[in-house]
Amino acid sequence: MNKSSKKIILDAYQSSTSITGTDRMAHNFLVQLQEIDQTNNYVVICSPHNYIPATITNPNFKVLSPPKLFLPTILVKAINKLWRVSMYYYLSRKRSNVFYSFHNMRLPRQRVAKRMIASNLDLIPIVLDEYKGLGGITPEKQIQIYKDVTAKADKLVSISEFSKQQLSEILDVPISKIDVVHLAPDQQFELQNTPGRIVKDDYIFTIGGSEPRKNVKTVIEAYEQLPDDIQQQYKLVIAGGKWHGQKLDYAANENIIEIGYVPDEDLPGLYANSSVFVFASVYEGFGFTILEAMATGTPVINAKGSSLDEVAGDATLSFQATDSAALAAELEKVLNSQKLRADLTEKGYSQLQKFSWKESAIKLHQILTDN
């Protein structure tokens, strides 16, 4: 090993067997970092259940992953927890230069490298009432966990200016300790041609299911205020599962279609074939979905606030998150004007140029290799 090269640990471990937004973020950064850095030595901690191990092809990147076990779930979780504890202990003896976790506000208990860097994706568990106490962790305990991370971290990487400001104001972290590295849409959303239709009718598309912060109820209320002829022409298609088993509460309407959880490979087509994408979320650490819709050429209407203003720029129409009448007016405006839809599509393509996995990976690399 070159004496001047650094030892960098990247924690992308995910205990869940389903692909999450954090997995997608880690995947894109790892693809780019391997192109950027042929010198430093990386250890990537990951799960055998997601696609990250197959991403690692460069010789200076090493995968550290538990074996893929075909045992009852409770046994797998216990064995993997023991594996992680022993793995962190092992790494703490290796005198690495940097440890960076892709996961939100998470660092190991022990110092496993000279510099410890944590990700700040959002502060949902301590700022939104519906999410406080989930997982059996009291709000007070969750705040303490986050404060322990900010105290242990030599640097924090936020995914938006909004997240950075919240981190500083709520947890009293010095601004100088926080860097912002934006995210970007996956390459699969940069379509060269329109894929096959999953929904045959013309439709308005929204994502969020019954999760409270996604605020789909406001989209439904707005849709029901649209003139009957527009509702007959455009269905409302809702993607997303039942949050903790909760159902969306609305009167039966044959023009409202819930399609549940959507696999990644089907999302580009759902965006691309919709007439407009609506995102009414009241809180987002970044707002992936707005950029995904823009990348497929779909006009966007989004709620104001959190990180959505930052991500959307002036390329969308917007409304106050709980104002269903205002959203209904914006929907009617877009659906009745082909020119407006075309203008929003062009503005969306321009806004996308501000977000690049390559540029973001270069910035992250600078943070990781900073002396």
Judge contact between 318 and 302, C-beta under 8 A. Answer: yes
With 60 as the cut, is the pLDDT of residue 175 above it?
Answer: yes
Domain range list for the chain? 7-184+356-369, 187-352
Query: 177-214 burial, b for 16+ CB within 10 Å, e for fewer?
Result: ebbbbbbbbbeebeeeeeeeeeeeeebbbbbbbbbbbb
With 70 as the cut, is the pLDDT of residue 166 above it?
Answer: yes
Phi, psi of 122 (to 5 degrees): -170, 175
Mean pLDDT for the stretch of residues 151-176: 97
Mean pLDDT for the stretch of residues 181-209: 83
Per-residue pLDDT at 369 = 96
Mean pLDDT for the stretch of residues 55-84: 87
Per-residue pLDDT at 16 = 64
With 90 as the cut, is the pLDDT of residue 190 above it?
Answer: no
Q: Which CATH topology does 187-352 take? A: Rossmann fold (3.40.50)
Residue 72 burial (10 A CB sphere; 0-12, 13-18, 19+):
exposed
Share of the chain above pLDDT 70, in %: 96
Q: Which of 105, 113, 107, 88 is nearest to 157 (CA)?
A: 105
d(CA 203, CA 255): 9
Question: pLDDT digit string (tens) for 226-276?
Answer: 999 999 999 999 999 999 999 999 999 999 999 999 988 889 999 999 999
Which stretch of 71-75, 323-327, 367-371 has the lowest confidence by average pLDDT? 71-75
Mean pLDDT for the chain overall:
93
Query: 254-279 burial, b for 16+ CB within 10 Å, e for fewer?
Result: ebbebeeebeeeebbbbbbbbbbbbb
Mean pLDDT for the stretch of residues 55-66: 92
Instruction: Report the CATH architecture of 7-184+356-369.
Output: 3-Layer(aba) Sandwich (3.40)
Residue 212 has, within 13 A of its CA and on its CB side, a CA count of 8
Q: Give the residue carrying structure tokens 């959880």.
A: 261
How many CB atoms are closer than 10 A to CB 46?
25
Angle of helix 338-352 relative to helix 324-335, nearest 10 degrees? 100
Which stretch of 21-25, 214-218, 353-357 has the lowest confidence by average pLDDT? 21-25
Residue 194: pLDDT band with limits 50, 70, 90 = low
Question: pLDDT digit string (tens) for 276-307?
Answer: 999 999 999 999 899 999 999 999 999 999 99
With 80 as the cut, is the pLDDT of residue 192 above it?
Answer: no
Mean pLDDT for the stretch of residues 133-144: 92
Per-residue pLDDT at 96 = 95
Q: From its phi and psi, is residue 260 left (phi > 0), alpha (psi between -120 and 50) or beta?
A: left
Domains 7-184+356-369 and 187-352 share a fold: yes
Per-residue pLDDT at 309 = 97
Q: Which of 280, 294, 272 is nearest to 354 (CA)?
A: 294
Question: pLDDT digit string (tens) for 82-91?
Answer: 888 898 988 9
Q: Which of 165, 198, 33 is nearest to 102 (CA)?
A: 33
Question: pLDDT digit string (tens) for 8-47?
Answer: 999 998 766 667 778 889 999 999 999 999 999 999 998 8
Residue 363 burial (10 A CB sphere; 0-12, 13-18, 19+):
middle
